[in-house]
Structure 1
Amino acid sequence: MPAGTLGQTFTVRGRYVQFQVVAATFGIQDYRFLASNAPGTQTVGGDAPVFEAKIPDHRGRVLAGDVLVEIKDDSIELSRTGTGLSMKIQAKDCTQGGLFQMEPERADGTATRIRHVLAAGTFYFDNPNFRAREGDVVPFNPSDPARATTVTVAPRINWANDISPVFVGRDSAQVATRVIPAGCDNQIRRRDNTFATVQHCGRESIWDVASGGRMGMVTGEDGTEVAPPPTNCVQNCQAQNRVRGGAVVLGFPFPVPADVRLRPDFSTGNLTP
């Protein structure tokens, strides 16, 4: 798409997914699953909004070149460059698995801070099904036998809503560090009845993503599986396909109990959108 034809935003719409792209930054607005087409029951009662925004902070740099678009099967790749900066977005037109990733790259090699804001009605929670198994060792048996291993169950932050019992997902990072928020300390009960302090807000997460790293998301059953962490990829990273039965899936309770929903929605150190 020639740079001269772009407005402030443009829309990517598939059969199952729709979102807007901010042309100058490749930030994302209003990422949602579409009610009329999305399989399963993730869109009970209408569209299922997932993210209000994914906001990269380029610290004054902007994207100004043409937008390159590559479409293959159910996937789209968008890329654009600016002075000392490039951004790539990969997205899949489906509602299960690794659906989306944002990949910043800077000439100065420094990290890019990306702020995630969940849509109203969608919330982060500390998954009690993972707390109940914390420390257990479970098998991981993907289709490639060479990758078979075991994984120790760790705490899991997921997102969900109060509408659909299968609407669930999580942030997925490669070479990225989550920024600890101010004012979002939550006391979460462990399996031994002690409490862990979880520093995470209810609708916001902020990440410092290495140049060439990526910030993505995993939804549906894959969002509650126990699998090894992603590799430290900083070049030509790909949105991952589903493991398809190779991992133990712990699921999540619906409705999500009030005492594991993370609060407040936003940190005291960042303005709400």
Structure 2
Amino acid sequence: MTTTTPLGRTARQLRAAVLVAAVVAGSLALSAGPASASGKTSAGGDYRVTIGSTTYDPAPGKSVKVGGIVPTGRIAVRGVNNGFDIDVATLGVYDYTLTGAPDTQRMVTKPTVVFASKVPTLTPAQLAGATIKSLEVKDDTLVVLFSTAGGKFKIQAKDGAQGGIFQMESEFGAPVEFTHTLGAGLFYFVNQYTGKVNFGDGVDPVTSGAGAHQMLLGKDSPQVATKTLQTGTVTKWLVQSGGRLGGVLGEDAIELSAGATNCTSQCQAQNQIRGSLPVPPLPTNPTPIG
């Protein structure tokens, strides 16, 4: 039974408020530590990458490193927990999908498109001569670096069910606008416990049984970037040269971390925090922005 205080706030709300206050206080005392990717999975991940008619899928514990490839069409990245396509014509990422494979960390139980697209706005001159300068695939990790007549573009990904598992980084000597468009059924909302913008589908977690899953939650993770547009399904960011725009999924998306540093070289898919941060309660009845 829910108890109510004389001020009309439930005991559950008071506990949540105390927890959030503790998180805020704790985050002020923490500093950003070494950057590293942090995909979370209980069952493991394994990427394979198909370019044209060639698929790169190294044995467990082994890596494949190639370069000097002039790709045509889309590059297919497929993993156990997530997958997506890269279109060389735009250097954009399309149909970023969580597979829903069995895993204690999963947030969906069937293939779900989280992002319909993540696309940088680049001129024909910046895109000219796009070549894969280097591609490295090892187990659950992917790093691909494109070189063009106008600069460089890097994509890093982890085949995790959640965590800091995706990042795009541009180096064109000038700011680049990125547009994130969510998949069908997902929306951006303001988290009532943190005041930050998250995205999700509003579906509550299922804690047991064959259909068990955590709540689908995420956030854009910018570094040296400024948001220029926010709607219920789209965000736009102006990212400085050497900056990045990443994504964080799951519990990490709602914790009150200290935020990213102003890294513009050798940035990784997530900036970790020294120590352990409490996690606020899950959002309840999230409402789409706008």
Q: Same fold (TM over 0.5)?
A: yes
- Check conservation: 2:92, 2:119, Cα contact below 8 A: yes
* Aligned-partner SS, 1:222: helix
Following TM superposition, by how much is the alpha carbon of 1:231 offset from its aligned partner in structure 2, in angstroms? 0.5
d(CA) in 2 for partners of 1:235, 1:40: 31
d(CA) in 2 for partners of 1:231, 1:243: 11
- Check conservation: 2:223, 2:260, Cα contact below 8 A: yes
Larger Rg: 2
Partner of 2:185: 121
TM-score of the two chains, using structure 2 as the length reference: 0.68
Partner of 2:234: 204
Following TM superposition, by how much is the alpha carbon of 1:37 offset from its aligned partner in structure 2, in angstroms? 4.2
Partner of 2:83: 18
1:262 maps to 2:271: no
d(CA) in 2 for partners of 1:230, 1:202: 24
d(CA) in 2 for partners of 1:164, 1:2: 46
- Check conservation: 1:98, 1:242, Cα contact below 8 A: no
1:220 maps to 2:247: no
Following TM superposition, by how much is the alpha carbon of 1:72 offset from its aligned partner in structure 2, in angstroms? 3.5
Aligned pairs for 1:167-182 (under 5 A) are 167-179=216-228, 181=229
Partner of 1:247: 277
- Check conservation: 1:177, 1:208, Cα contact below 8 A: yes
Paired-residue identity, % = 36
Aligned pair in 2 of structure 1 residues 38, 26: CA closer, same or farther (>3 Å)? farther
Aligned pair in 2 of structure 1 residues 241, 93: CA closer, same or farther (>3 Å)? farther
Aligned pair in 2 of structure 1 residues 38, 32: CA closer, same or farther (>3 Å)? farther
Aligned pair in 2 of structure 1 residues 26, 67: CA closer, same or farther (>3 Å)? farther
2:197 paired residue among 130, 148, 157: 157
Structure 2 spans left out of the alignment, 5+ residues: 1-66, 206-214
- Check conservation: 1:172, 1:215, Cα contact below 8 A: yes
1:66 paired residue among 129, 132, 141: 132
Aligned pairs for 1:75-154 (under 5 A) are 75-106=141-172, 109-130=173-194
Partner of 1:52: 116
d(CA) in 2 for partners of 1:240, 1:19: 19
Partner of 2:7: none
Following TM superposition, by how much is the alpha carbon of 1:247 offset from its aligned partner in structure 2, in angstroms? 1.0
d(CA) in 1 for partners of 2:106, 2:154: 30
Partner of 1:151: none
1:34 maps to 2:64: no
Following TM superposition, by how much is the alpha carbon of 1:58 offset from its aligned partner in structure 2, in angstroms? 1.1
d(CA) in 2 for partners of 1:36, 1:213: 32
User: Any idea what the Cα deviations from partners look like across 1:211-250, whole Å, max 9, x if unmatched?
Assistant: 0100001110000001101110000001127659711211
TM-score of the two chains, using structure 1 as the length reference: 0.72
* Aligned-partner SS, 1:221: helix
- Check conservation: 2:105, 2:162, Cα contact below 8 A: no
1:236 maps to 2:266: yes
- Check conservation: 1:15, 1:37, Cα contact below 8 A: no
d(CA) in 1 for partners of 2:257, 2:285: 24
- Output the amino acid matched with 1:226: L
Structure 1 spans left out of the alignment, 5+ residues: 131-154, 182-199, 264-273
- Give the alignment's Cα RMSD to 1 decimal: 2.0
